[in-house]
Amino acid sequence: MSAILETPVRAFESVSGAGAGEMLELAIGPHHPSTHGVFRMDVVLDGERVRRLKPVFGYLHRNHEKIAEGQSYLSSMPYTDRLDYFCSLTNNWAYALTVEKLAGLQVPERAEYIRVITAELTRVQNHLCLIGFLLQDMGASGTPLMYAFREREKILDLFESLTGARMMCNYMRFGGCRVDLPTGWMEEAQQVVQGLTRFLDEFEALLTGNEILMARTMHIGVLSSAAAVNAGVTGPMLRASGVNYDVRKVDRYGVYDRFDFRIPLGDHGDTYDRYLIRVLEMRESLKILRVALRDLPEGPVMDPKARLRGFRPKAGEAYGRIEAPKGELGFHLISDGSPNPFRYRVRPPSLMNLTVLEEMCMGRMLADVVVILGSVDIVLGEVDR
C-alpha cells in the first residue's frame, strides 16, 4: 500500500528528458472500437510498452445530479436507468433503497423477492455481455458476443413483459415495485434460468480452457488486494484480487440473507481471474434465482402506507448501497424537507474501478491495455453520469 502512495501521480505533462524522442504520445479514444463507450486514454508509449496512462472522461457527462436537484425524487427514477444502461433494474433498486432509508419506508416481502430475482437476472445478462465484449476486444470478432446477446434477448423479453421496456425499466418504487408479475411470468423465468444453466456450460466449454484466451489474459493486468482496497475498487474486480467483500453479504440488504450462495475469490488478480470470477458469479446468481423463483411468497408488491404523491422525506441524509453487477453502487441523498432532493449524488463503481487502470497497464503492451480495460467493466453512463 505504501509503495503506491510514495510515487506521486503527476498530471500529464509533455514528455521530455533523455529518450524523449523515442516516446510516442497517443490518444486512444474517445472514438475507438475497443473503448467501452466514449472514453479516452492518453498513453505514452515506449515502442509497444506503456509508460504512462491517463484516463480522460466527461464525454458523456449528462448532468444527472444537477437535473435531479431540480425535480422530485420520483422523477429521477427513470434517470437512474440511464446510469449503467445495461443494468437498469439494479440502479433502480439502489436508488429506491436509499430513498427508503431516508424516509424510513418498509418494503413488502414479495417485492423484496421480486427485486432479488430481477437483480440477479440483471447480473447474469451484464456478465454475459461483458464476457462477450471482452472476447470481441481480443479479436474473437463477434461470435461470443452473438451468443451472449442471444441469451440476453431472452432475459430482456422477461423484463419487457414485466416492466414494459427492454432496457430502461423504471420498475422500482419507494416502498416496493411498480406492478406485480404478469400471469405466466414465473414459469417463463424458470425456463429461462434452466436454459441459461445449460448455456453457461456450453459457453464455458468454448472459452474457459481456450488457449488464446488464457495466453492473452493470464498474468496480465495484475492488481494486488491492498491496492484494490485502498483505491476503492469493488465488485468482481475486487474479488478477483482475493478480497472477500460483497455488499450482499456485508450489508445483507433485501432478503439476501435467506439465500445460500458463495462468493468466488481470485488468487492472482489478473484479467483471467476477473473473467473467471464473473462466470462463477453467474452460476451463483442462477442458484439464487432457482431458489427465489421457488420460494416467492404471495402478497402486495407495494407498501400500502407508501405515498408517492407529495413525497417529502424529512430533512436529513442517507447513504444507501447495493452490490450492482459492476461493483458497489451507492446513492447519497441529502434532503431539506422539500419535494426535491437538496443533494443527489451517485457513487459510480466504474469510476472507482478506473482509479487503478494506470498501474495495471504499466509496462504492458498496447494490445494488453485494451484487454485490461475490457476486464474492468466500465460503462460511461455511470462514470460520467
Partner 1 sequence: MEVTDQELKIDLQKQGVLMTSLNELYNWGRKNSVWPLQFGLACCAIEMIAASMARYDLARFGAEVFRPSPRQADLMIVAGTVTKKMAPQVVRLYNQMAEPKYVIAMGACAISGGPFKQGYNVLKGIDRYLPVDVHIPGCPPRPEALLHAFMTLQNKIASQPLTGPARPRHLRAGAPSEFSVPQCGPHGLVPPSNPAVWRPPTAAQAG
Partner 2 sequence: METLEEICFRIKTALPAARVEIIPNASPCGQRSLLLGREQGLAVATFLRDDPQLRLDYCSNVTGVDRLEPSLPQGFVQSPSSAGLKKEAGEGLGESGTGCLEAVYHLFSMAHKNGPVVLRLRTENRLAAVRLPSLTPVWRSCEFQEREIFDLFGIVFDGHPDLRRLLMWEGFQGFPMRRDYLVADDFECEPTPHGDVPKRMSPRQGCAEVIQKTATADPRV
* Footprint on this chain of partner 1 (rule: CB under 8 A): 30-33, 37-38, 58-64, 66-67, 70, 78-79, 82, 85-86, 145-146, 149-150, 152-153, 166-168, 380-381
Pick from 255, 92, 247: which is nearest to 177 by CA? 92
For residue 229, the surrounding DSSP H or E stretch is helix 225-230
The distance of closest approach from Cβ of residue 51 to partner 1 in the complex, given in angstroms and rounded to an integer, is 25
Q: How far apart are CA 194 and CA 168, in angstroms?
A: 25
Closer to partner 2 by CB, 273 or 359: give it: 359
SS3 32: coil
Q: Which does 352 bind (CB under 5 to 8 A by kind): partner 2, partner 1, none?
A: partner 2
Q: Which does 336 bind (CB under 5 to 8 A by kind): partner 2, partner 1, none?
A: partner 2
Q: Which does 47 bind (CB under 5 to 8 A by kind): partner 1, partner 2, none?
A: none
**Identity of residue 65:** E
Q: How far apart are CA 364 and CA 24, in angstroms?
A: 15
Residue with cell 489478473: 270
Closer to partner 2 by CB, 52 or 216: give it: 52
Closer to partner 2 by CB, 166 or 345: give it: 345
Lay out the sheet containing 316-324: strands in order across.
316-324, 327-335, 343-347
The distance of closest approach from Cβ of residue 2 to partner 2 in the complex, given in angstroms and rounded to an integer, is 10
Q: How far apart are CA 385 and CA 374, in angstroms?
A: 20
Cell (9 digits) for 145: 458476443
Neighbours of 314 (CB within 10 A): 10
The distance of closest approach from Cβ of residue 150 to partner 1 in the complex, given in angstroms and rounded to an integer, is 5
Residues at the site binding partner 2, with contacts judged by CB under 8 A? 4-5, 8-11, 57-58, 61, 63, 65-66, 69, 101-104, 227, 229-234, 243, 245, 250, 313-321, 328, 330, 332, 334-338, 342-343, 345, 347, 351-352, 354-356, 384
Q: Which does 30 bind (CB under 5 to 8 A by kind): partner 2, partner 1, none?
A: partner 1
Q: Say if residues 124 and 196 touch (Cβ distance below 8 Å).
A: yes
**Identity of residue 328:** E
Q: Which does 64 bind (CB under 5 to 8 A by kind): partner 1, partner 2, none?
A: partner 1
Instruction: Please report the DSSP string for 243-302 in residue order.
Output: ----HHHHT--TTGGGS-------SS-SHHHHHHHHHHHHHHHHHHHHHHHHHPPPS-SB
The distance of closest approach from Cβ of residue 17 to partner 2 in the complex, given in angstroms and rounded to an integer, is 19
Q: Which does 339 bind (CB under 5 to 8 A by kind): partner 1, partner 2, none?
A: none
For residue 14, the surrounding DSSP H or E stretch is none
The distance of closest approach from Cβ of residue 270 to partner 1 in the complex, given in angstroms and rounded to an integer, is 27
Q: Which does 102 bind (CB under 5 to 8 A by kind): partner 2, partner 1, none?
A: partner 2
Closer to partner 2 by CB, 281 or 384: give it: 384
